[in-house]
Structure 1
Amino acid sequence: MMRTVIFDMDGVIVDTEPVHRYAYFRHFEELGITVTNAEYATFTGRSTKNVYQHLKNQHGLADEVPALVLGKRAFFNRAFDEKPDLELLDGVRALIEDLHQHGLELLLASSASHSTINRVMRRFELGPYFSHLLSGEDFPRSKPDPAIFAHAAALATAPPSECLVIEDSANGVTAAKGAGLYCIGYNSPHSPLQDLSHANLVVAHFRELTAARIAAIEAD
């Protein structure tokens, strides 16, 4: 049975992807670089730091990675605070509350920065439901590297065999499986071009999940 659920954030709990996309492309324009839609799709599930290290290497950007991250973050923060229609994804609050009410431990393991994670937690008052909030900026490599999920499982009260991950990106599913964890792929309409076929289970809506169903899952 499962006793701990590790959530990704972007594309799973809240759709900040349009805000990220806006911020990235405004910053790309400012930097004078061209990024195709296909290349941008490969950034899903990767930390901002990792993305800018890749872009610095590829485009020979003069600024150091921390400065590039801050430049993009400035665009993101303004857009996030000004976007009135930013909402949790349909059904996810009910699932979080159901899991919490039935005693399952919840952790967050997101490639987003601590700043973005904290903004989401404050705006939607989700902090009390989660025992740990992990940010990809604390790890040298992004998903699909499994380090963030391996660390989340190490922090959990349950053993790894009783932890599962909910992810919406191919990189995230690969990271979860690489950490030896059961993974539910969420086929989010906000995360296009993602191959989730290597997840243990794929769902199209959070209505398909309940605390009872998740608790009853047996690890492969």
Structure 2
Amino acid sequence: MTNHIIFDMDGVLLDSEPMHQQLIYETFQEKGIPFDKFYIETLTGMSAYPMWEKVKHDAARTETVEELMQFHRDYFFKRLPEIQVPLVPYVKEVLEKFKAQGKHLSLASSSPRKLINIFTQQTGIDSYFEVIMSGDDVQYSKPNPEIFLKVAQCYNLPPAQFTVIEDSTNGIKAAKNARMQCIGFDNPLSGGQDLSAANKRIQTMKELL
């Protein structure tokens, strides 16, 4: 493993994928969008704009992408006060170990920065990361490598010096497209994700200890 490690957030640091998928499903129901939870699993790892662009196309909706995004965001933040998202088991221990070893830790998530700040502060892990890159900071979503390459640019280092830890098909593809090493975390709560392109796969964060 390299000395620079990039963590995805949802499904890697936080067991939040079921919450996100459920709220997307509820948004679909509110809007009368006839897609099921299997369809929603294919959206895992995408940031808001490309996700709703795809939904708009697939469901032949007349609203703009921005209108769909805003409806989802309003619904999400209306529900947020009642949501408590747990850390993935052993994540805190892994972060402590890597810090003690002098590794440089970053977070790169397709979620909005506001949400990243809320959840990382709520769970007490925000101080572990030297760089935090959000979906708000990039033009293109995973599987495009832009978010990971931007982290590398912050350190002025080549991508080959980074290891990404991801739980989604789109995230794995983005890491490989960035020419970075990638560990695939097989989180059962993330749905049926294809992690076969990862350099290594783990079933639990405890394996990193």
TM-score, with normalisation over the residues of structure 2? 0.92
Question: 1:8 & 1:122 partners in 2: Cα distance?
Answer: 16
Residues 130-171 of structure 1, C-alpha deviations (whole Å, 9 max, x = no match): 111111233232111111111112223654222100000111
SS in 2 for 1:40: helix
Task: Tell me the residue number matched to 1:13.
Answer: 13
1:59 paired to 2:30: no
Find runs of 4+ consecutive structure 1 residues off by over 3 angstroms. none
Task: Tell me the residue number matched to 1:82.
Answer: 82
Q: 1:184 offset after TM fit, Å?
A: 0.4
Question: 2:93 & 2:161 partners in 1: Cα distance?
Answer: 22
Residues 172-202 of structure 1, C-alpha deviations (whole Å, 9 max, x = no match): 1111000000000001121121111110000
1:100 paired to 2:99: yes
Task: Tell me the residue number matched to 2:188.
Answer: 189
Task: Tell me the residue number matched to 2:135.
Answer: 136
SS in 2 for 1:190: helix
Question: 2:66 & 2:118 partners in 1: Cα distance?
Answer: 20
Task: Tell me the residue number matched to 2:90.
Answer: 91
Task: Tell me the residue number matched to 2:33.
Answer: 33
SS in 2 for 1:121: helix
Q: 1:31 offset after TM fit, Å?
A: 1.5
Question: 2:4 & 2:203 partners in 1: Cα distance?
Answer: 21
Asked whether the 8 Å contact 1:196–1:202 carries over to 2, the reply is: yes
SS in 1 for 2:99: helix
Task: Tell me the residue number matched to 2:165.
Answer: 166
Question: 1:138 & 1:61 partners in 2: Cα distance?
Answer: 27
Structure 2 spans left out of the alignment, 5+ residues: none
Question: 1:96 & 1:47 partners in 2: Cα distance?
Answer: 25
Asked whether the 8 Å contact 1:19–1:76 carries over to 2, the reply is: no
Task: Tell me the residue number matched to 1:127.
Answer: 126
TM-score, with normalisation over the residues of structure 1? 0.88
Q: 1:21 offset after TM fit, Å?
A: 1.8
Asked whether the 8 Å contact 2:41–2:192 carries over to 1, the reply is: yes
Aligned-partner residue type, residue 77 of structure 2: N
Distance 1:97 1:80, change over 3 A: farther
Task: Tell me the residue number matched to 1:49.
Answer: 49
SS in 2 for 1:183: strand
Task: Tell me the residue number matched to 1:198.
Answer: 197
Question: 1:71 & 1:25 partners in 2: Cα distance?
Answer: 13
SS in 1 for 2:150: helix
Question: 2:71 & 2:208 partners in 1: Cα distance?
Answer: 38
Task: Tell me the residue number matched to 1:109.
Answer: 108
Residues 93-141 of structure 1, C-alpha deviations (whole Å, 9 max, x = no match): 1101111122111111111111211111220122211111111233232
Count residues in correspondence: 209
Distance 1:130 1:114, change over 3 A: same
Task: Tell me the residue number matched to 1:217.
Answer: none
Question: 1:209 & 1:115 partners in 2: Cα distance?
Answer: 29
Question: 1:112 & 1:97 partners in 2: Cα distance?
Answer: 24
Q: Pairwise CA RMSD of aligned residues?
A: 1.7
